[in-house]
Every structure is written in C-alpha cells, then in structure tokens.
Structure 1
Amino acid sequence: MAEVNAQRAAALARREKAGREPAPRRLAEDDIRRLVGSFDDIRNTLRDADSKDKNNVYRELRLALTYDPGQNKISVEAKPDADYCGVTLRVRGGT
C-alpha cells in the first residue's frame, strides 16, 4: 500500500510540474529569416554531396517521393523520427 501511495504521489508531482511548463517561445522575424535562409545552405550542401551521402540523409529523414505522371509532378513527404531530431512531443489532457 505504501509503495502504491508513493507511486501515486510521484505521478501527481510529475503532472503538476508538467502543467507549469512555460509557453513555447515565439520566433522573431529575424529568427524566421535566419531559419529559412539556412535551408539554402542545406540545399547547396546536398546538391554538392556524394550520392551515397544524399541517400543516407534522405533515409534518415524517411523521405518518400511519389511521381504522378498524369500531372508530371513529384510529391515529397518527410517523416523524420521525432526522437532522432530532438523534437519533444507531449500529450495534453487525460490519457
């Protein structure tokens, strides 16, 4: 019984702490410009990279390209692993 009460108290403390997390920081216009501008660096680096290196980057991004011959278009979808990319995902509300 004491162990269950200790686990419950720890869970309640974690929930309370999670509820006090600060709101995400808003990006300033300069931050956004700098971020978008860095895409050019990434594009240029990939353009000049060895094809085996490109393949590794695309695989890590879980990149999928789908060609639609009727519209002569290529759709690109990336599903990078959130843990690998350092993204923190949270569940809000009851679970």
Structure 2
Amino acid sequence: MPDRALLAMLEGAQSDNTAAIASVDSMRHSLAEYDRKLNSYRAALEAGADPQLIATWTQQVQREREVAAAQIAAMEASTDARPALSRKEIHELVKSFGGLVKILRAADSTDKLEVYRQLGLKMTYNHKTRVVVAEVQPPPPVCTVVVSGGDLNTVSRPPA
C-alpha cells in the first residue's frame, strides 16, 4: 500500500492541464455551433432556399467542422488534455501495478524491453542524491485520415 507522502508526490507531479481542457471544451462548443449551422442550412433548403448557395455554405461549414474535430482528437490524444488523476485514482493505479511488477520480474529481458519501450520509459539517475527518477510517456494513439477527391467524407484507418 503506497504511503500518503508518495501519493501526494505523485498527485503533485501531474502537469496543470486546465488550459488544455478548457481549449478542448471550447472546441466542442465550436462543433455544436457548426452542427447548429448545418441544421439551419438544411431547414433553409427545405424551405426553398437556393440549393447552390446552401451547398456552398454547407461545404464550408463541413470543412471547418472536420478541422475542429481533428484538433479535438489531437488535443485529447496529448497528455495535457487529460484530466488530472485524483489521489484515490492514483492509489488504485499504484495498487494495480503490484501484479505487473511481479510479472515483469519473472519476464524475459527482451519482453521487458518491449514493455518499457511501449510505455516510453525514461530513467534518470542523479548521482549526488542517489535517486532514480522514472518517467513514462506512452505515445499517443495515431490514425491516418484519408480524404478522396471531392468527397468530404473521411475514413480513419488505424496505423499500420
């Protein structure tokens, strides 16, 4: 069981991500505004407005909406856009590592290396204080977005 000082240290080591979360929230409001515009354009079209004019407006808003959605996805994939863990969440996470530590101790060194690589493990030793600082930064999930010729519909594919 981790002690209170360790939990406090882990909680304090998290970056302040309130600005990133606010930015994601702002972008979500933009998505809602784009959706509102598209719905109003549809209503105008159904009411007899010029289809060519509505099509031009719709294409522009759809492009802007796609950009905003991609920005949100990128922000959410970054560690700065994730909410900070509570002390209770950190405690549960640390407790769950107990079984993982046992498994890693018994694992082949090649398997350990792969686990550490995927975690983005970086260890820094301070010879004066004789302390090792371990940091993990798993790479964010990445996907490829493909847009065909004039079609604004996108297809997301997982990385190869």
TM-score category of the 2 structures, normalised to the smaller one:
0.5 to 0.7
Larger % of helix: which?
Answer: 2
- What's the offset of the Cα at 1:41? 1.0
- What's the offset of the Cα at 1:5? 1.5
Task: Write the mapping of 1:15-54 to structure 2, written as runs, cut at 5 A.
Answer: 35-54=93-112
Does the alignment pair 1:63 with 2:121?
yes
- What's the offset of the Cα at 1:6? 1.5
TM-score, length basis structure 2: 0.36
Q: How many residues align?
A: 73
CA RMSD of aligned residues (A): 3.4
Instruction: Give unmatched runs, 5+ long, in structure 2.
Output: 1-52, 73-82, 143-160
In the alignment, what sits opposite 1:5? 57
Identity of aligned residues (%): 32
Higher relative contact order (CA 8 A, sep 6+): 2
* Bigger radius of gyration: 2
Instruction: Give unmatched runs, 5+ long, in structure 1.
Output: 19-23, 85-95
Does the alignment pair 1:72 with 2:130?
yes
In the alignment, what sits opposite 2:35? none
- What's the offset of the Cα at 1:32? 7.4
Greater CA drift, 70-79 or 31-40: 31-40
- What's the offset of the Cα at 1:7? 3.2
